Amino acid sequence: MTASAISLGCHLSSSAGFAAMGETALAIGATTFAFFTRNPRGGNAKAVDPDDAAALRALMEEHGFGKLVAHAPYTLNLCSAKPDVIEFARRSMADDLQRMEYLPGNYYNFHPGSHVGQGIEEGIRLIVDGLNQVLFPEQATTVLLETMAGKGSEVGGTFEELARIIDGVREDQLLGVCLDTCHVWDGGYDIREHLDDVLSEFDRTIGLERLKALHLNDSKNPLASHKDRHEKIGKGTIGGETFSAVVTHPLLRNLPMILETPNELDGYAAEISLLRQLAGEA
């Protein structure tokens, strides 16, 4: 990867280990990737093999990978109405952050949570409390709050909600944001017609220095639908021209970009190739 090349990838299975994910990424033209830190439905994570982690670090260095964007299981909810669910989320996230130390300097992305009827104020309070419990000052991982579509009782459907979480966390230097294109579109931010305006709003509300990664997804739904249904790049309501603007944008092109579109590996390889063409790399 050249110094100016964009860092693109997708979610990969961790079942065969870290180095195997790196090899798979190379095979599909990726220079970053995402992986679930444990089963996406939650549960225990298998022990880390330090040699395997070292092999991935060496492969990433050799091939000029961008930062990885590990993903917490969807089932973790720091602002559940059930204390046992909150405790499980905190315990799992704390364990994940310790495990991420085998891959230092990368990202750990999570969905802020759903307040399940408790109200946004209580949801934010619980998320802040959870992050204050699990973050530790010397960690080498930056934790990313993901922008959400605002469906149901989700927290994080607006930039303001994410800013309030960050403002409440003691070790806020360890926090960033992953902007999901489908989520912000479904949440009401018009990145198709007003990408620069949305980025300006993000900067005013959160600060662009907090924007660390992107999830690149088209949407099956119209603007502000609050539904969160991903579509393949250029096949949805956001449209291919928007993604051409995203991958060439001076404020975005240097961020790791993760595809979460409805694809198998060959489909991801095709989308990675397409996005590289849009970025002027082919």
Q: Which two tokens stand for residue 170?
A: 């003691």
One-character DSSP codes across 118-164: S-HHHHHHHHHHHHHHH--TT---EEEEEP----TTBS-SSHHHHHH
Q: Is 161 a catalytic residue?
A: no
Half-sphere exposure of residue 21: CA atoms within 13 angstroms, side-chain side: 26
Out of 63, 74, 87, 204, pick the active-site residue: 74
Kindly name the residue from 38, 71, 164, 192 that is annotated as catalytic: 71
- In sequence order, the β-bridge partners of residue 8 are 257
Among candidate residues 96, 218, 230, 271, the one labeled active-site is 230
**Token pair in block for residue 10:** 């997708």
Q: Is 115 assigned a catalytic role?
A: no
Is 41 noted as a catalytic residue in this protein? Answer: yes
Exactly one of 161, 180, 186, 271 is catalytic; name it: 180
- Among candidate residues 11, 38, 57, 111, the one labeled active-site is 111
209 is catalytic: no
Task: Quote the CA–CA distance of 89 and 92 in Å, as a whole number.
Answer: 5
Please pick, among 57, 99, 115, 146, the residue that the annotation labels catalytic.
146
For residue 109, CA distances in Å to 4, 97, 114 come to 25, 11, 16
Determine whether 170 is an active site residue: no
215: β partners: 180, 258
96, 161, 228, 271: which one is catalytic?
228
228 is catalytic: yes
From 11, 99, 164, 183, active-site residue:
183
Residue 6 near residue 276, CB atoms below 8 Å: yes
**Residue of 38, 260, 268, 271 with catalytic role:** 260
> Amino acid identity, residue 276?
R
Structure tokens at 274: 């397409």
Cβ atoms of residues 66 and 30 within 8 Å = no
Is 111 marked active-site? yes
Residue with tokens 């790399």: 281
Catalytic residue among 215, 218, 268, 271: 215
Catalytic residue among 41, 84, 193, 264: 41
Q: Which residues are catalytic?
A: 41, 71, 74, 111, 146, 180, 183, 215, 228, 230, 260
